[in-house]
Structure 1
Amino acid sequence: MAIAVKGAVSMTLENGPIETQVAAYIASSLQQDVPDVVLERARCHLLDTLTAILSGRFLPAGEFGYAFAAAANSGNEATFLGSTWRGSLEYAAFANAMAAHADETDDSHIRGRLHPGCAMVPAAIAVAERENAGSEALLKAIALGYDIGARANIALGYSSPRTTIFSTHSIGALFGASAAAAALMGLTTKQAEALLSFTVQQTSRLSYWNRDPDHVEKSFDFGAKAARNGVFAALLAKAGMTAPDRPLTGERAYLAAYAENPKPDELCAGLGDRFEILAASIKKWSVGSPIQSVLDAIEVLFGGEPVDPATIDSIEVRLPSNRIHVVDDRHMPAICTQHLVAIALIDGRVTFASSHDEARMQANDVLALRQKVRLVPDDGLTDARPERQSIVTIQMSNGDVKRHHTRVVRGTPDDPMPASEVAGKAEDILGPIQADRGQGLIDLCLYSDFEIADLVDACRIDIEARRSYG
């Protein structure tokens, strides 16, 4: 979905190869005027990603990332958010990104086929902290990352996420993290061109992450390696390391190696006018993306009120055929459709805590209702636009049939959540782990011209409160 800002003035890019145009945009991005609507969305994605980091900090991927980085790194440049630990730029970005995609709380970009925030925001915050950048610079760098990362994937021309062995999630996130870090380090156009080469050479794309049963290497693949490698690429370029020309469009370069249907013009199309952060999605529910529309449907059908399982005979959930395997009877609660449907009906709503309560997967009432849930692959939904639609049909014991087809998912560009709703999601997640600090972080992200040190401080976690968090 291409979204241009009405009245925005496109930046005049330098003439020359596409690489030069992209590099010039990166190098000058913090000096350009950015529409208020773009900065406002950047604030929402900043808050949403920080919320994912602070909650993911105590999930397996986040715990591993923090422990590994704390033991392996040296340096005192940036903070492992939610703690007092500090380390080098690369390790801070790595640890925070492992936490950011420790589960399914973070944002996504449908057309770009990536989770941008979990890589780009940790990279940007780490560099911003070292550079003591202000809030406007950080927000512009985040928006830049979404612009460059999404375009890097779109230019590959993949017809669907299932037609290639290469995972776009691992590619665009790295390009975006590199760009955000480069802008905050103040790279010149020449240095930014070299950055693109170092970025290309560090891409890793194999999609066997979808066999990861624990969502730990997946956090590395989607976020942590992109954040770490992006920061490292910017450091190499800043130090003056040289590189071959035309790493994106030249012989044996990026598009020649990886593209299915190369679209080189997409690498710089609409820069300064079409802002990809406006085409990104913030999840309403802290669960896997294909389940968002299912929970939307249940909320519509029952108005957020609990339902007595005894009044339900059967539940049919139709999902796109190419996505159903991601969320069908999985062992993790946040990506198991059958489990989450049962929770939504029994509780009336799905919170972060309930969608991550592993013990409840064995509760008798939940297991009994799960047996009534049947998932059905639907080729028509695969081709439907907007993407990620679902149809939920519930046969009630009294003979009534309740059915809802969710065509537009809440939180996507076609039905975006306002800042107040993003804040509500953050309150649900942060309340139990930050005590009275959560609202301070929300206010800083959404409404303040903050200092980076204050933002980092507002991310501190109440460890005692966390220990009792369900």
Structure 2
Amino acid sequence: MTTQGEIVIEPMMRELSEYIAGALARPLPPEVVEKAEHHILDTLAAIAVGTRLKPGKVGLEVMRSEGGRPDCTVGFTDARAPVVHASFAVGMIAGAGETDDSHYLARMHPGCAIVPPILATAELLDRSGEDFLRAVVLGYDIGCRLTMALDEALLDNAFHSPHSIGGLFGGTAGCAALRSFDAQHVRYALSYAVQQTAGVTCWMRDPEHCEKAFVFGGNPARNAANAALLVACGFTGGSDPFHGQHNFFDCMSPNPDRAEMVRGLGRDYEIMRAMIKKWTVGSPIQPALDSSQALLKEYRFAPDDIVAIDAILPDKETKIISNRHMPEICLQHLVALMLVDGDVTLESSHDYERMKDPRVLAVREKITLVPNAEMTRTPPPRQARIEIRLKDGRTIAHHTPATRGTPDNPMAREEVETKAIRLMTPIVGEAVTAKVIDAMRNLPSIRVRDLTAIMSGSDALVKAA
């Protein structure tokens, strides 16, 4: 053990804080660099999309009302704001829809919470693209490990939202590294992250995605930037918020696994276990859409040919996607939409009016969601089976064992770029989209301000001032 005054710093905290302090000096394996480029691009696409959705618009309104120094770019807009306000607004924008990435084991959407404060801080400090990328990888490592270190049953039973908690600590770690904090100041920053920890799953009752965007993106992004800013301005604090009397883990969980925080650091990268969505809908619904589309393509039936549909999914996931008010996270609606349209797009998946479409409702009435415990116990986690009984007497079925974009079935760079082009081009145009993609291909060799200049250039479509 080492001590600071009379305060004991446990070995785990010392190892963790030293790792964060030295993260930007450590080269990353090529496959981790490429995966990070994919997730950053995917998050930028989510940021473009979110500027047109209500949660992103109200996030921008809050930022405008606060004013302040024009230090940082605010997504693909003409606005600029102080680092904390910019992080909040871009976090809201990135979490505004269901286009952002996810991490199944950590039970969070890392990109919308971690990338915005790290991007804003990197721009503020004129950091290199390589520093930015390494800070993002670090953020995924710390944020995802933290929620996995908490007792999963407690998170469920106490209604804490891991999406907000993990993103806060991941973003704080990345911002602390960008600000060149030594291990002691990293610990201070983590202590201020502890004091800003929030997130309760009552967000699920908001039918318009605003509270969800706040919990998943805006609040953790803002608080992460703020924790690092406080320490940069001279704030001191507790030197080991994860151990000792009244510590974070004992507050949050009766059975935490603190060792998870340093498990495989520098060898096992959590960004490699994160998922990029093929469809712009909730993560658990992805394989059901894969199977529904596969059946349509193989058997070429019409909606009127359907007698009944069983959607069989892991039972752990069904409560958060069954008959929800938000179209983009309602399984029954989205499967029906797929079977009527033959596809699910960004526009159709976020269109509340389509939930009233008589053709979609007619198919939706035939869908039974079947929770399956064996699927929960049997990896991979993102799987589904769709069984459809047709009027001609046939029963057709398709099982998706690992949906595209998951660690078990990852997307290639070309697929990630194609998704980004599809989502970004209608909003920011072909030229800006092409420049962003080129910047991602060369991220380690550019400055972050080169990237943000593209995002906020004269072609920016959203006027936020």
User: What SS does the corresponding residue of 1:245 show, helix, strand or coil?
Assistant: coil
Percentage of identical aligned residues? 40
What is the deviation of 1:382? 3.3
| 2:27 equivalent in structure 1 | 33
| 1:330 equivalent in structure 2 | 324
CA contact (8 A) 1:155 1:259 kept: no
CA contact (8 A) 2:37 2:441 kept: yes
| 2:39 equivalent in structure 1 | 45
What is the deviation of 1:278? 0.5
What is the deviation of 1:312? 2.0
- 444, 454, 457: which is aligned to 1:458? 454
| 1:94 equivalent in structure 2 | 88
- 296, 311, 316: which is aligned to 2:290? 296
In structure 1, how many angstroms separate the alpha carbons of the residues matched to 2:82 and 2:146?
27
What is the deviation of 1:465? 7.8
What is the deviation of 1:149? 0.5
2:385 equivalent to 1:391: yes
Listed as ranges, the matches of 1:57-456 within 5 Å are 57-159=51-153, 162-303=156-297, 307-436=301-430, 437-448=432-443, 449-456=445-452
User: What SS does the corresponding residue of 2:86 show, helix, strand or coil?
Assistant: helix
Q: What per-residue deviation string (whole Å, max 9, x for no partner) do you get for residues 199-242 of structure 1? A: 11111142222222221111111111111111111112222322
In structure 1, how many angstroms separate the alpha carbons of the residues matched to 2:161 and 2:351?
30
User: What SS does the corresponding residue of 2:28 show, helix, strand or coil?
Assistant: coil
In structure 1, how many angstroms separate the alpha carbons of the residues matched to 2:209 and 2:174?
26
CA contact (8 A) 2:84 2:226 kept: yes
In structure 2, how many angstroms separate the alpha carbons of the residues matched to 1:29 and 1:305?
52
CA 1:466–1:396 in structure 2 vs 1: closer, same or farther (change >3 Å)? farther
In structure 2, how many angstroms separate the alpha carbons of the residues matched to 1:397 and 1:451?
60
CA 1:309–1:461 in structure 2 vs 1: closer, same or farther (change >3 Å)? farther
In structure 2, how many angstroms separate the alpha carbons of the residues matched to 1:309 and 1:464?
41
| 2:6 equivalent in structure 1 | none
In structure 1, how many angstroms separate the alpha carbons of the residues matched to 2:50 and 2:152?
31
Q: Which runs of 5 or more residues in structure 1 are unaligned?
A: 1-14
User: What SS does the corresponding residue of 2:368 show, helix, strand or coil?
Assistant: strand
| 1:12 equivalent in structure 2 | none
CA 1:305–1:46 in structure 2 vs 1: closer, same or farther (change >3 Å)? farther
CA 1:464–1:240 in structure 2 vs 1: closer, same or farther (change >3 Å)? closer
CA 1:463–1:208 in structure 2 vs 1: closer, same or farther (change >3 Å)? farther
| 1:3 equivalent in structure 2 | none
Q: What per-residue deviation string (whole Å, max 9, x for no partner) do you get for residues 171-223 of structure 1? A: 11100010111111111111111111111111114222222222111111111
CA 1:245–1:435 in structure 2 vs 1: closer, same or farther (change >3 Å)? closer
In structure 1, how many angstroms separate the alpha carbons of the residues matched to 2:424 and 2:359?
28
In structure 2, how many angstroms separate the alpha carbons of the residues matched to 1:466 and 1:94?
17
Q: What per-residue deviation string (whole Å, max 9, x for no partner) do you get for residues 402-441 of structure 1? A: 1122221221111111111111111221121122222221
| 2:4 equivalent in structure 1 | none
In structure 2, how many angstroms separate the alpha carbons of the residues matched to 1:170 and 1:228?
11
CA 1:290–1:161 in structure 2 vs 1: closer, same or farther (change >3 Å)? farther
The one-letter code sitting in structure 2 at the alignment partner of 1:444 is A
In structure 2, how many angstroms separate the alpha carbons of the residues matched to 1:366 and 1:463?
38
CA 1:241–1:388 in structure 2 vs 1: closer, same or farther (change >3 Å)? same
| 1:11 equivalent in structure 2 | none
In structure 2, how many angstroms separate the alpha carbons of the residues matched to 1:36 and 1:294?
33
The one-letter code sitting in structure 2 at the alignment partner of 1:411 is G
User: What SS does the corresponding residue of 1:391 show, helix, strand or coil?
Assistant: strand
User: What SS does the corresponding residue of 2:42 show, helix, strand or coil?
Assistant: helix
User: What SS does the corresponding residue of 2:33 show, helix, strand or coil?
Assistant: helix
CA contact (8 A) 1:315 1:392 kept: yes
| 1:22 equivalent in structure 2 | 16
Q: Which runs of 5 or more residues in structure 2 are unaligned?
A: 1-8
What is the deviation of 1:457? 3.2
In structure 1, how many angstroms separate the alpha carbons of the residues matched to 2:459 and 2:22?
41
Aligned residues: 453
The one-letter code sitting in structure 2 at the alignment partner of 1:442 is I
The one-letter code sitting in structure 1 at the alignment partner of 2:43 is T
CA 1:266–1:430 in structure 2 vs 1: closer, same or farther (change >3 Å)? same
The one-letter code sitting in structure 2 at the alignment partner of 1:194 is Y
In structure 2, how many angstroms separate the alpha carbons of the residues matched to 1:461 and 1:131?
19
CA RMSD of aligned residues (A): 2.2
TM-score by length of 2: 0.92
User: What SS does the corresponding residue of 2:120 show, helix, strand or coil?
Assistant: helix
The one-letter code sitting in structure 1 at the alignment partner of 2:187 is E
What is the deviation of 1:161? 5.3
